Amino acid sequence: MVLTSRQKIIVGLMIFLLVLVFPKRSVASQSEEGQITIVFDFGHDQLFSPANQNFTEAVDVLSNRPEYFVRILTEGELSAENLTRSHILVISNPGKEYTTAELEVISNFVNRGGSLFLLCDFQIANRRIGNPVVLNEILQGISEPLIQFSTVIEGDDIQGDAIYDLNNSLLLPYNIQVNQSFITLDPLRATIGVNINSVMVAGGSLTEQTSGLIISTGAETSQAVNINEEAIHSQPGWLAAFWVNSSRVVLCTSNTMFSDTSCIGTNQSWFQSRDNSILWLNIFNWLSASFVQDTTLFLIFIVSLVLIVGMALFIYSFWLKKRGG
């Protein structure tokens, strides 16, 4: 069948529209279009940050992936403008509190469907680097307090804790190894545990009011201890993943485990030790899932619509030609 000029125009228009709507993702361009935008807030006196040159590997591995666009905040208050067209907000162990206005910005972001990743750290006698109180204020702003970063009240002092295990650690009892058997995942969160054999963790613990939110604990011999190394509870949880309405939230009590600093006993950075880097990417894969599905469905709808309209125009043109002939 020989196409008429009108039919050629319609076919050309269909091809043009399909090329126009098909997603273009390029590592080199680092364009936000068609990508999952991750915002890291490093503007609250974080101990680990790219500016301090001790949290670059984890950020770079995301920046170098075509599906992600990474934006780093280094100063000023967290604002709604900072989170425009963003999908995932990462807050890693802040050193100072968030203002009431900032907490509202975070709450609104989650209420609109944004994913949230909060990281804390451990507190021991000579290294109180975790800041669970600030992170718990964020959690209280986005939902009922179903889970929190563990705290210990000593007089007027609110302290964090640390996971301690003499039997499953490297050189120091706070550098614990967690094997795959202590990562419990249902089918809806299974992607977080893909290709994980073991990870190295140095962090505090989680306190869960509703069961099923924590997805990984230490071994049976592990304990959460206060800054005086007194046991608080046994086999503490350190990683949680759950939903707040349609938003996905991940809590990790160890910011250290994804840092560039040396992990004693491995001759590697914490990020490169065991399967820590794989876990990092798995977490973002899970946090991104809702947006990937939404984008895919939208593209399917657009492509289908273009095809239907194009075919209708093509058939109509053919019918007009026969009628006129």
* Model pLDDT, residue 24: 37
Any domain includes 313: no
Residue 307 scores a pLDDT above 90 = no
Reported as a single tens digit per residue, the pLDDT across 110-119 is 999 999 999 9
Its domain, for residue 180, covers 37-294
How many structural domains comprise the chain? 1
Could you tell me if residue 299 is inside a domain?
Answer: no
Q: Is 186 within the bounds of a domain?
A: yes
**Range with the lowest mean pLDDT among 28-42, 52-66, 112-126, 196-210?**
28-42
Of the candidates 41, 85, 88, 38, the one whose C-alpha atom is nearest the C-alpha of residue 64 is 38
- The C-alpha R_g of the chain, in whole angstroms, comes to 24
Residues 6, 12, 15, 17, CA torsion sign: negative
Distant-in-sequence, close-in-space partners of 36: CB < 8 Å, separation ≥ 6: 67, 68, 69, 87, 88, 288, 291, 292
Average pLDDT over residues 22-40: 60
Structural domain includes residue 301:
no
3-state class (DSSP) for residue 144: coil
Distance CA 161, CA 69 (A): 34
Residue 316: pLDDT over 60? no
pLDDT value, residue 29? 30
Which pLDDT score, from 0 to 100, does residue 254 have? 98
pLDDT digits over 123-166, tens only? 987 778 899 999 999 999 998 878 999 999 887 889 999 999 99
Instruction: Please indicate whether residue 67 or residue 322 has the higher confidence score (pLDDT).
Output: 67
In a domain, 10, yes or no: no
Kindly state the average pLDDT of the residues 77-89. Answer: 96
Q: How big is the CA angle at 291 (ends 287 and 295), to the nearest 5 degrees?
A: 155
Task: Evaluate whether residue 104 is within a structural domain.
Answer: yes
Q: What pLDDT score was predicted for residue 302?
A: 44
- What string of DSSP letters covers 277-290? HHHHHHHHHHHHHH
Take residue 181 and report the two structure tokens written for it: 């058997």
CATH number of the domain within which 102 lies: 3.40.50.880
In a domain, 140, yes or no: yes
CA distances from 100 to 79, 107, 206 (A): 11, 11, 24
